[in-house]
């Protein structure tokens, strides 16, 4: 079983902003990812090193490091296609600024 960890930015910015009902599901999904790191959907283009898991309208974006057997949760947020708040657009900005 892998270990699930959150990046500092995810832990300090994304997780505290989650609604309580989504937070409960988020914790369950972390346990599922630790048990099966390949569970999520592979992302494409600039995000190809990452995978995502659905939480209703929210998404968890993570990467799995096989060498250390750690699932790194990089971002979690709402999926709002076309919005600046969209998790995939925020993730692309994070990659551009090298904050992941």
Pairing type for strands 70-78 and 58-65 reads antiparallel
pLDDT at 17 over 70: yes
Annotated domain spans of the chain: 3-97
- At 94 the pLDDT is 86
Strands (E), 1-100: 3-6, 41-42, 51-55, 58-65, 70-78
- Condensed to tens digits (0 to 9), the pLDDT of residues 34-54 reads 999 998 999 998 899 999 999
What percent of the chain clears pLDDT 90, i.e. is strictly above it?
78
CA distances (Å), origin 13, targets 45, 69, 76: 25, 25, 9
pLDDT at 91 over 80: yes
pLDDT at 24 over 80: yes
- At 83 the pLDDT is 77
Q: Looking at the domain 3-97, which fold is it?
A: YaeB-like fold (3.30.2310)
Radius of gyration over alpha carbons of the chain, in Å?
Answer: 12
3 state DSSP class of 63 = strand
């Amino acid at each position: 079983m892998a270990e699930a960890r959150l990046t500092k930015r995810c832990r300090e910015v994304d997780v505290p902003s989650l609604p309580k009902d989504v937070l409960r599901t988020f914790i369950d999904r972390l346990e599922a990812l630790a048990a099966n790191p390949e569970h999520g959907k592979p992302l494409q283009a600039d995000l190809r090193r990452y995978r995502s898991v659905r939480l209703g309208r929210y998404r968890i974006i993570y990467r799995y490091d096989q060498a250390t057997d750690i699932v790194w949760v990089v971002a979690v947020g709402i999926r709002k296609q076309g919005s600046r708040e969209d998790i995939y657009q925020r993730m692309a900005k994070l990659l551009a600024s090298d904050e992941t």
